[in-house]
Amino acid sequence: MLPNSLVYRLAMRARRPVIRRWYDLMSRIDRHDTMIFMNYGWADLETSNPSIPLEAGDERDRYCIQLYEQVAGAVDLRDRDVLEIGCGRGGGASWVMRRFGPRTMTGLDLSPVGVEYCRRRHCMPGLSFVTGDAEAMGFEPESFDAVLNIESSHCYGSMERFLAGVFRVLRPGGHFLYTDYHSPEKLEQVRLLTGASGFETISEEDISSNVVRALELDDERKSVLIDRLVPGILRGLFREFAGMQGTSTFNGALRSGEKIYSRFVLRAPGEDRSASRPADDARLTSGAGMIPQEQAAI
């Protein structure tokens, strides 16, 4: 039998078909809303005190929420139209809507099952979810003031197509708020591609140590969750996916420095005109990579 670490790496290389099925599986396993965030998290290295106050219902997901705080909180999102690409189980999009008060918050994800879950689980004015491909988004040009992408792009087949799509849907002066982990070589490629796509880099930060610390602090909670929800034959794969201690994801990639976890604030050229824009919803073009809502509920 192949080691779980190898199976997981092969699955990630298979890209979209396997990844979509993986997220569909997670949606079917978790029937009690216990996994609404799926990122590795962020923890302050200087203090053990909570970095932000949370309501009791959010406390279990503190480290995952803190990563969203670090990324989405980099610019003012109030009264803006925001898109999250790779919204997963919708916890992050819901948090951004509650925390930062955008005018609209749209979550896009490849998994129809996951998107249908998000629509049922996260219901609030201005928040919506659509099924679509990060490398072939069907939104009209200049639909959003800000785009979020958190720990998702390492699964994409083409960073060039992805970044070109983000640039296309951003309005002039809009921000791309991005975080993920890459090898040093791939990270340099990302830097080159963001510039070639037309973005100005406002800031770049290595947050690898903060992410590793969050994984350490959140390990016990994840272990209990996986043991309770996941069939025994799949637990090793879920531990790899969650970056738990003892896995190759944690030991061989993140803690060793083989992969660098970076946070970017990127800006599209032009003047931000959002303050004078009439309040109309972002529209979708027909087709162009989007899956109709009625087809998403499967």
Domain limits of the chain? 4-272+281-296
pLDDT beyond 80 at 284: no
The structure's pTM equals 0.86
Hey, which residues does 181 pair with through a beta bridge? 261
Amino acid identity at 195? G
**What is the reported pLDDT for 277?**
58
Q: Taking a C-beta distance cutoff of 8 angstroms, is the pair 230, 172 a contact?
A: no
Phi, psi dihedral angles at 201 (to 5 degrees):
-85, 115
Q: Which residue has the tokens 């140590």?
A: 209
> Cα angle at 188 between 186 and 193, to 5 degrees?
90
Question: Looking at the domain 4-272+281-296, which fold is it?
Answer: Rossmann fold (3.40.50)
**What is the reported pLDDT for 51?**
80
pLDDT beyond 70 at 292: no
**What is the reported pLDDT for 30?**
78
Beta-sheet pairing, 127-132 with 200-206:
unpaired
**What is the reported pLDDT for 42?**
98
Q: Which residue has the tokens 């690409």?
A: 85
Q: Which of 238, 282, 264, 286 is CA-nearest to residue 104? A: 282
pLDDT-above-90 percentage for the chain: 70
pLDDT tens per residue across span 16-45: 677 777 777 777 787 777 889 999 999 999
**What is the average pLDDT value for the chain, to the nearest integer?**
87
- Dihedral of CA 175/118/231/64: which sign? positive
Q: 3-state SS string over 203-269?
A: EEEECHHHHHHHHHHCHHHHHHHHHHHCCHHHHHHHHHHHCCCCCHHHHHHHHCCCCEEEEEEEECC
pLDDT beyond 70 at 202: yes
